[in-house]
Amino acid sequence: MTLDRRTFLGSVGGALALAGCTRRPVEHALPTAPTANDAAPGEPLYYATSAQRGADVMGLIVETTDGRPIKIEGNAKHPLSKGGVDAWTQAQTFALYDSQRARLPTERSGKAFALEIVRQRLDRLAARARARGGAGLALLLEYSLSPSYRDLLGQIRRTLPKAELFLADSCAPRNSALARQGLGLTGLTPHLRIATADVLLALDCDFLGSEGEAVSAARAFYSRRRGNPTRRSANRLYVVEPVPTLTGDAADNRLALPRSEVGAFLAQLIGQLFRWGVNPPAELQDWARRLAQQTPWRERRGRWVETVARRLRERRRRSLVLIGERQPVWVHELGWLLNQLLGNLGSTIHLYADQDWPVWQGPAAFVEAARRKQFSDLLLLGTNPLYTDGAEFAQALASIPFSMHLSAARQATSERCSWHVPRAHFLESWGDLRSSDGTIALQQPTLAPLFAALSDLEVLARLLGMPDPQPYNVVRQYFQRSLGKPGMPSEVFWRFAVHEGFVRRPAAAHQSRLPSFGGLKATTSGQIDSPRSGLELVFQLDWAVADGRYASNGWLQEAPDPITQLCWSSAALLSPTTAARYGVVDGQLIELSVGGAKVQLPALRIAGVAEGCVGLQRGYGQQHGLADGVGQDVGPLQGANWWRGGARLVPTASLVLLPRVDRLQDVARGGHASVVHRDTAEPARWHALTLSPMAAADPLPLPQASSHSEQWGMSIDTAACSGCGACVIACQAENNIAIVGPAHVVRYGTMHWLHIERRALSERSPHAGQSGYLRRPVACQHCEHAPCESACPVSATQHSPDGLNQMVYSACVGAGGCARDCPYGVRRFNHLDHAQRVRGRSDALALNPRVSVRSDGVMEKCSYCVQRIVHARAQAKQQGRQLIPDGWAEPACARTCPTQAIVFGNVADRASRVRRQKRSAGAYRLLAAANTSPRTSYLLAFRNPDPRLS
Q: Which of residues 727-756 bind another protein (CB under 8 A)?
A: 736
Part in contact with another protein (CB under 8 A); list of ranges 38-46, 231-239, 243-251, 352-360 = 38-46
Task: With beta carbons less than 8 A apart as the criterion, state whether 437 and 418 touch.
Answer: no
DSSP string, 652-720: EEEE----B--HHHHHHHHT-HHHHHHHHHHHHHHHHHHHSPPP-PPPPPPPPP-SSS--EEEEEEGGG
Is 874 a binding residue for another protein by CB under 8 A? The answer is no
C-beta neighbour count of 20 within 10 angstroms: 7
Min dist. Cβ of residue 430 to another protein (A): 8
Q: How far is the CB of 22 from another protein (least distance, A)?
A: 5
Give the residue with the Cβ less far from another protein, 488 or 676.
488
Instruction: Output the CA–CA distances (angstroms, integers) from residue 891 to 754, 807, 905, in the order listed.
Output: 12, 17, 9
Q: What is the contact mask toward another protein in residues 120 to 159, using x (rule: CB under 8 A)? A: ----------------------------------------
Q: Shortest Cβ distance from residue 123 to another protein (Å)?
A: 22
Q: How far is the CB of 782 from another protein (least distance, A)?
A: 23
Nearer to another protein among residue 402 and residue 888 (C-beta): 888
Site for another protein in 383-442 (CB under 8 A): 428
Backbone phi and psi for residue 176, each to the nearest 5 degrees, phi listed first = -65, -35
3 binds another protein (CB under 8 A): no
Candidates 33, 507, 508, 696: give the one binding another protein (CB under 8 A): 33
Size of the site for another protein (CB under 8 A): 74
d(CA 730, CA 714): 16
Q: Smallest gap, in angstroms, from Cβ of residue 107 to another protein?
A: 23
Touching another protein, residues 846-865 (CB under 8 A): 847-849, 851-856
The single residue among 641, 842, 875, 920 that binds another protein, judged by CB under 8 A, is 842
Site membership for another protein, residue 28 (CB under 8 A): yes
Residue 734, SS3 per DSSP: helix
Residues 6+ apart with CB under 8 A from 458: 469, 470, 471, 474
Considering only the stretches 46-54, 263-271, 664-672, 762-770, report the one whose residues sit in contact with another protein under the rule CB under 8 A: 46-54
Contacts (CB under 8 A) with another protein, residues 63-102: 64, 66-68
Helix segments in 375-416, DSSP class H: 385-389, 391-398, 412-416
Question: Between 498 and 517, how does the x/- string for binding to another protein read (CB under 8 A)?
Answer: xx------------------
CB of 489 to another protein, least distance (A): 11
Residue 938's Cβ-count burial label (10 Å; 0-12, 13-18, 19+) is buried
Which member of 113, 582, 748, 809 binds another protein (CB under 8 A)?
809
The nearer residue to another protein, 41 or 646, going by C-beta atoms, is 41
- Does residue 321 contact residue 347 with C-beta atoms inside 8 Å? no
Which x/- pattern over 679-718 shows residues binding another protein (rule: CB under 8 A)? ----------------------------------------
Pair 542, 618: CB distance under 8 Å: yes
User: In the bound complex, what is the minimum distance in angstroms from residue 867's beta carbon to another protein?
Assistant: 12
Instruction: Give 58's strand partners.
Output: 51
b/e string for 594-617 if b means 16 or more Cβ within 10 A?
Answer: beebebebbbbbbebbbebbbbbb
Closest approach, Cβ 47 to another protein, in A, equals 5
Between residues 500 and 591, which has the closer beta carbon with respect to another protein? Answer: 500
What's the CA gap between 763 and 774, in Å, rounded?
11
Q: Which is closer to another protein, CB of 317 or CB of 837? A: 837
13 or 518, CB closer to another protein? 13
Give the DSSP per-residue string, 858-898. Answer: -EE---S-HHHHHHHHHHHHHTT-SSPPTTSS--HHHHH-T
Residue 115 binding another protein, by CB under 8 A: no
Residue 328 near residue 354, CB atoms below 8 Å: no
x/- map, 348-387, another protein, by CB under 8 A: ----------------------------------------
Q: Closest approach of Cβ 810 to another protein, in Å? A: 5
Shortest Å distance, C-beta 910 to another protein: 30
Q: Is the peptide bond before 34 cis (omega within 30 degrees of 0)?
A: yes
The reply on whether position 489 binds another protein by CB under 8 A is no
Q: Is 465 in the site for another protein (CB under 8 A)?
A: no
6/232 with CB nearer another protein:
6
User: What's the gap between Cα 503 and its chain centre?
Assistant: 25
Q: Binder to another protein among 46, 116, 657, 795 (CB under 8 A)?
A: 46
Which residue(s) pair with 616 in the sheet?
539
Quick one: which of 467, 583, 793, 840 contacts another protein (CB under 8 A)?
840
* Residues 819-838 contacting another protein, CB under 8 A: 833, 835, 838
| 697-710: b (≥16 Cβ within 10 Å) or e | eeebeebeeeeeeb
CA distances from 773 to 246, 249, 562, 763, 808 (A): 9, 6, 10, 10, 36
- Does 490 interact with another protein (rule: CB under 8 A)? no
In the complex, minimum distance from the CB of residue 918 to another protein, in angstroms, rounded to a whole number: 31
Whether the CB-CB separation of 782 and 934 falls below 8 Å is answered with: yes
Compare residues 115 and 760 and give the one whose CB is closer to another protein: 115
Q: What gap in Å lies between CA 126 and CA 303, rounded to an integer?
A: 61
The answer to whether 7 contacts another protein (rule: CB under 8 A) is yes
Per CB under 8 A, 472 contacts another protein: yes
State whether the Cα torsion 657-661-662-667 is positive or negative: positive
Q: In the set 109, 704, 707, 810, which binds another protein (CB under 8 A)?
A: 810
Nearer to another protein, 648 or 839 (CB): 839
Would residue 595 be called left, alpha or beta, if left means φ above 0 and alpha means ψ between -120 and 50 degrees?
A: left
Rounded Cα distance between 36 and 23, Å, is 34
**By CB under 8 A, is residue 42 in contact with another protein?**
yes
Selected from 8, 40, 639, 666, the binder of another protein by CB under 8 A is 40
656: buried, middle or exposed (CB in 10 Å: 19+, 13-18, 0-12)?
A: middle
**Stretch of 186-194, 348-356, 488-496, 612-620 contacting another protein, by CB under 8 A:** 488-496
- Helix (H/G/I), strand (E/B), else coil: 821: helix
For residues 679 and 467, give the distance between their C-alpha atoms in angstroms, rounded to a whole number. Answer: 68
- Pairing relation of β-strands 106-107 and 419-422? antiparallel
Q: Which is nearer to another protein, 552 or 848 (CB)?
A: 848
Q: Which of 81, 90, 235, 444 touches another protein by CB under 8 A?
A: 444
What are the phi and psi torsion angles at 750 (to 5°)?
-85, 175
Residue closer to another protein by CB (options 127, 874) is 874
Q: How many other C-beta atoms lie within 10 A of the C-beta of residue 254? A: 26
Considering the complex, state which of residue 26 and residue 696 has its C-beta at the smaller distance from another protein: 26
CB contact at 8 A, 647 and 535: yes
User: Residues 6 or more apart from 425 whose CB is under 8 A from it?
Assistant: 92, 95, 96, 408, 450, 453
Minimum CB–partner distance for residue 376 and another protein (Å): 35
CB of 790 to another protein, least distance (A): 25
Indicate the residue type of 467. P
By CB under 8 A, tell whether 23 contacts another protein: yes
Nearest distance, CB of residue 409 and another protein, angstroms: 16
Rule CB under 8 A: is residue 445 a binding residue for another protein? yes
* Closest CB to another protein among residues 70, 637: 70
Q: How far apart are CA 153 and CA 358, in angstroms?
A: 8
